[in-house]
Amino acid sequence: MTICRTFLYLIVPFVLSSQLHAEVTLKVGISEGVTGVVEFADGELTGSLSKTYDCVFDNASVPVEFVSVPLKRGLYYLESGQLDALIPLARSPERDESLIFAGELIRADYSYVALKPIDDLLAQDDLRVAVVRGFVGGLFLPGGADQVEEVNSWVQLAPMLERDRVDVSVIPTMLIEQVMGEKTGNAYIKPAGVLEASLYISPKHRGSEVTKRILNSVEQCRSEPGSITRG
């Protein structure tokens, strides 16, 4: 009788702990900015990458709560543990220093965009470049970049180019038409580079079962080359 009671005292807390752990919902941030890529509306993900990220979280068997957040703030929340993951994000050495990259899920292509002949501009030593704050566009700054303007949202880029406040901007290739709008037809575009992309996980989950599940799921859900993110 004593042995049975002791066994119950040991096993019940373990079961309760496992149940509580299983019920934990991950808070996943979706970086704001441009529609049509991945958003959360009416209880589900929408956009061109929605099925890809649905695959990741469904296969990982982890309950999630999505919240929209500006990119720069989302990265801060992620590092401080206020968010558990942030999508969509491309990989960068700076992010790798403090966050957990989930592995390549998609390929992200980036381009230089200008409203003047772009090869002439890129040859300048006093080039003015605009990038979104927190965005990986800084990895593709041309050698002649003399002045870098950081803006808070993608919608600011086209007006800055049009008003000649900057010469060139770095934009995810898939988003050029959305960012530039009616100016797309007059834009000069040149490939800037490619990065692997997926999501980053908060360092508070380093070595956890949740992280292992997500990394395995990213491997299973990997897309064909040509997809793109905007982070």
Residues 162 and 189 grouped into a single domain: yes
In a domain, 228, yes or no: no
Residues 100 and 15 grouped into a single domain: yes
Q: Is the sign of the CA dihedral 192, 196, 202, 207 positive or negative?
A: negative
* Number of domains the chain contains: 2
Residues 123 and 133 grouped into a single domain: yes
Residues 89 and 182 grouped into a single domain: no
Domain extent, residue 50, equals 2-106+197-221
In a domain, 226, yes or no: no
Residues 65 and 144 grouped into a single domain: no
- pLDDT tens sequence across 176-201: 998 999 999 999 999 999 999 999 99
In a domain, 229, yes or no: no
Residues 74 and 144 grouped into a single domain: no
Residues 175 and 64 grouped into a single domain: no
In a domain, 203, yes or no: yes
- pLDDT tens sequence across 75-97: 999 999 999 999 999 999 999 99
Residues 202 and 100 grouped into a single domain: yes
Residues 157 and 215 grouped into a single domain: no
CATH number at residue 147: 3.40.190.10
In a domain, 40, yes or no: yes
Residues 9 and 101 grouped into a single domain: yes
Residues 100 and 142 grouped into a single domain: no
Q: Say if residue 3's pLDDT is above 50.
A: no
- pLDDT tens sequence across 27-82: 999 988 767 889 998 889 999 999 999 999 999 999 999 999 999 999 999 999 99
- pLDDT tens sequence across 138-182: 899 988 888 999 998 899 999 999 999 999 999 999 889 989 999
In a domain, 231, yes or no: no
In a domain, 227, yes or no: no
Residues 94 and 205 grouped into a single domain: yes
Confidence of residue 15 (pLDDT cuts 50, 70, 90): very low
